[in-house]
A and B are shown apart, each in its own frame.
Chain A
Amino acid sequence: MHGPGEFELSRRGILVGGAASVAMTAAPPIAEAQEAASAGAGAPVLARVTLKVNGKPHTLELDTRTTLLDALREHLQFTGTKKGCDHGQCGACTVIVDGRRINSCLSLAVMHEGDSVTTIEGLGTAEKLHPMQAAFVKHDGYQCGYCTPGQICSAVAVLDEIRAGIPSHVTGDVAGKPAMSAEEIRERMSGNICRCGAYSNIVEAISEVAARRKA
């Protein structure tokens, strides 16, 4: 299930061929980088890191510059997590690390030694969707689908954040308990941009899961 299936490989092939930025940020093959590492200042530096991704540990030898996003996509073939802006502005790269959602593009893989990462592949499977995935399908919470893995990872964490009582910009009384409301969900999802503009359906999908879990 988690291996690079044929479909994923061919999609990646197209992306690498078609988008210069993706090709350029992919780390060089390890052997090549190791040779260069001995070449002096400014040469790539390698480091070993162990990440637990969707419950399974993976040890990688990475260029220190490799972001968590590139480690997941380019080195472990968890291509469900998407690269949008690569600057923390769009949220397509959202994953859950040790229970918290973060932008995997603005974090170095080497800084995650021993951390547990959950990607969209770890939330549910095609046969057994996570309730949030099922709700996005039911409510048409996407059009092109590129931002969807980030939206879903973010949405799952948003419900946990509201339940944990973490305030948001629209929480009336920050000392009180935030409401499980559409207004709260909208504000908390503002770090996930959808250029197709599926926002209203996304809020409906999340609200449905929120209501179900509340009952």
Chain B
Amino acid sequence: MKAFTYERAGSPAEAAAIVGRTQGARFIAGGTNLLDLMKLQIETPTHLVDVNHLGLDRIEATPEGGLRIGALVRNTDLAADKRVRKDYALLSRALVAGASGQLRNKATTAGNLLQRTRCPYFYDTNQPCNKRKPGSGCAAIGGINRSMAVIGASDACIATHPSDMAIAMRALDAVVETVRADGATRAIPIAEFHTLPGDTPNVENTLAAGELITAVTLPKPIGGTHIYHKVRDRASYAFALVSVGAILQKDGSGRVAFGGVAHKPWRVEAAEAALAQGAKAATALAFAGAKPTEQNKFKLVLAERTLAAAIAEARA
């Protein structure tokens, strides 16, 4: 780990201002992703701003009938919240499908959204990686790429976003609230939050330098059957090969977002219109234009079967 100075910010706006004006500064929340990467010198901040004591750890009802989830709410507390378990069960299920009990006790709502890819070459500092070192190349494209993206990737990067929680947030139409370094606040719909790799895979979201996430809000509940199916190499404690987050209504309509397949949670609203016709029709539309590799083309079959299982479960 490289040496760094450390401070606790006094308020969200102050935290944003410090990180905005200090070269090499970063926020630290649960630390479960940032410290992992700092130990490997993939991340090398020179100043850490601790945002754990800013009162951003509450879950509140919104006037619109939804929920406002503080950026620092722990994954365990969010999954266990009575309102979330009852009205947004997809979110609870996605959270408990991720990481371990110990990690979820530390991991935060904002940190989870911002966790970085698990591409093995991103983690291997001996290998070229455009995400870690822009312009160095991509070792995954000609390498072991079974776990990589099948859609929305580029010639520069084929990494996936590893978060389970983000898949649920995408299906639930969450909105990310922030405060910027100049003190201005804004609300970013989750659909516009994560980005595709394009020529700049080092950029993963639409946050500006020093922009702090203060909360994630959920619109009022939409009912339906909430399902999160995660398919992985072991029964527990592994990242998704493919995951399906679905909210299915009695009339056959619904919403679906896929994980483990792209650089961001993959949701195609046009494909949802075909849900009533079954998994085959919906996945064909959701993955139109997919460019899998020889090693990961199984993900397309897996996505369809996982969605079929979700639809069958909702009907049962």
A residues neighboring B (CB under 8 Å): 41-45, 47, 63-65, 67, 86-88, 91, 94, 100-103, 106-108, 110-111, 154, 157-158, 161, 164-169, 171, 174-175, 186-188, 190-192
Contacts and interface: CB of A to CB of B under 8 A. Distances in A.
Nearest to A47: B6
Contacts of A171: 96
Contact of B31 (A42, A44, A111): A111
17 contacts: A42-B46, A64-B5, A65-B1, A65-B4, A87-B39, A88-B103, A91-B102, A106-B31, A106-B36, A106-B103, A108-B6, A108-B31, A111-B28, A165-B80, A166-B76, A169-B97, A175-B82
B237 interface: yes
Given A87-B39, A102-B106, A191 B100 contact: yes
A100 B100 CA distance: 13
A167 B85 contact: yes
B100 A45 contact: no
B105 to A, nearest CB: 5
B43 interface: no
B52 interface: yes
A57 B166 CA distance: 39
B236 interface: yes
B34 to A, nearest CB: 9
Contact of A101 (B36, B85, B92, B102): B102
Nearest to B40: A87
Contact of A191 (B5, B48, B101): B101
A88 B76 contact: no
Interface of B: 1-6, 28, 31-32, 35-36, 39, 46, 48, 50, 52, 76, 79-80, 82, 85-86, 89, 92-93, 96-97, 99-103, 105-106, 235-237
Given A65-B1, A191-B237, A175 B89 contact: yes
A174 B2 CA distance: 42
Nearest to B44: A42
Contacts of B235: 190
Given A106-B31, A167-B79, A167-B96, A42 B3 contact: yes
Nearest to B79: A167
Top-10 shortest CB links A-B: A191-B100, A190-B236, A190-B237, A166-B80, A175-B85, A174-B92, A100-B105, A65-B1, A64-B6, A169-B96
Given A91-B100, A164-B80, 7 more contacts: A100-B105, A103-B106, A111-B31, A157-B101, A166-B76, A166-B79, A175-B82
Most chain B beta-carbon contacts within 10 A, residue among A103, A157, A187, A188: A103
A9 to B, nearest CB: 26
Contacts of A167: 79-80, 85, 92, 96
Contacts of A107: 31, 35, 106
B25 to A, nearest CB: 13
B64 to A, nearest CB: 22
B101 A161 contact: yes
Contacts of A86: 39
Contact of B102 (A65, A67, A94, A186): A94
Most chain B beta-carbon contacts within 10 A, residue among A174, A186, A188: A174
A174 B94 CA distance: 11
A103 B32 contact: yes
A88 B36 contact: yes
B27 to A, nearest CB: 12
A174 B100 contact: no
